[in-house]
Amino acid sequence: GKAGAAQQGDSAVQDSAARHLFHDVNEERLKSIKTFATFISLLDNYETSTGIEEVVTPEEIVENNCFLDAILATEVMKLAHEYLLKKKLAKPNLADFKNQLYDIWFQLYARKEGDRPDSCGFEHVFVGETRRGKEILGLHNWVQFYLQEKHNQIDYKGYVARKNKTRPDKDDQVLSIQFSWKGSVKPRGSTFIGVSPEFEFALYTVIFLLAKERVTRETVKIEEYELQMVVCRHGHHIGTAYPVLLSISNE
């Protein structure tokens, strides 16, 4: 089939993309970067079905901490921390800030009232979850998408085209894509492409901590992209977070 774009409003899910979304990712280079390496080690720590209790092993707690230590050493997270301090939303001590991040992202909770603790913000946003084998929840991260695609777990079905584009290229940094994963289809999910884990972590954390409502939609402009950042809370934790592509100005 021709690799076309999944048209908006096209309810029939046909695989209009003959190829993978990612052709060439330098995985060795990713794994040589501390934040990416520690991030990748977290992706296999979860039982993706909702309703099945998560068991967090001591090794996984160590991995979570290694990841947070790695991102807290980056300029991006330092900026986020300084900003949150000014807003009196974070503790000055780095260890306290790290505990706050741990609670927001890694503390387990039940997606449905009364269920077993089967989810956390990190799992939902970065790893993805499935509900009753019919629905894909979350999975808004390009590294996870790439790795799942490489292991033939994900079938990329096309993307909702932005103006003047017939297919994504290496310059695209936000895409709205359609894909199937573990037997279910996600009709549309937007995701940043090529960004660092600390960039997403910082962005979503700042919006989460500034937010008062359960669902916050923050319109931001990042380079030529007009985006709406959607962040939903689940009590004191992140429920979900992702970018929505609003429009694209032509260069």
pLDDT for 250 beyond 50: no
Residue 18 within a domain: no
DSSP 161: P
Give residue-wise pLDDT tens across range 107-164: 999 987 667 888 999 999 999 988 877 788 889 999 999 999 999 899 998 887 566 6
Residue 20 within a domain: no
Q: DSSP assignment of 213-228, as one string?
A: SSEEEEEEEETTEEEE
Residue 10 within a domain: no
Q: Is 140 a catalytic residue?
A: yes
- Kindly provide the residue ranges of all beta strands, DSSP E only, lying in 49-145, ordered along the sequence: 129-131, 135-137
Q: Is 124 a catalytic residue?
A: yes
Residue 87 to residue 104: CA distance in whole angstroms: 17
Q: Which of 81, 124, 157, 237 is catalytic?
A: 124
Give residue-wise pLDDT tens across range 178-206: 899 988 888 888 899 999 999 999 999 99
Domain range enclosing 94: 27-248
Residue 167 within a domain: yes
Residue 225 within a domain: yes
Q: How sure is the predictor about 165, in pLDDT bands with cuts at 50, 70 and 90?
A: low
Residue 168 to residue 152: CA distance in whole angstroms: 20
Q: Is 236 a catalytic residue?
A: no
Q: Which of 81, 98, 157, 186 is catalytic?
A: 186
Domain count for the chain: 1
Q: How sure is the predictor about 166, in pLDDT bands with cuts at 50, 70 and 90?
A: low
Residue 75 within a domain: yes
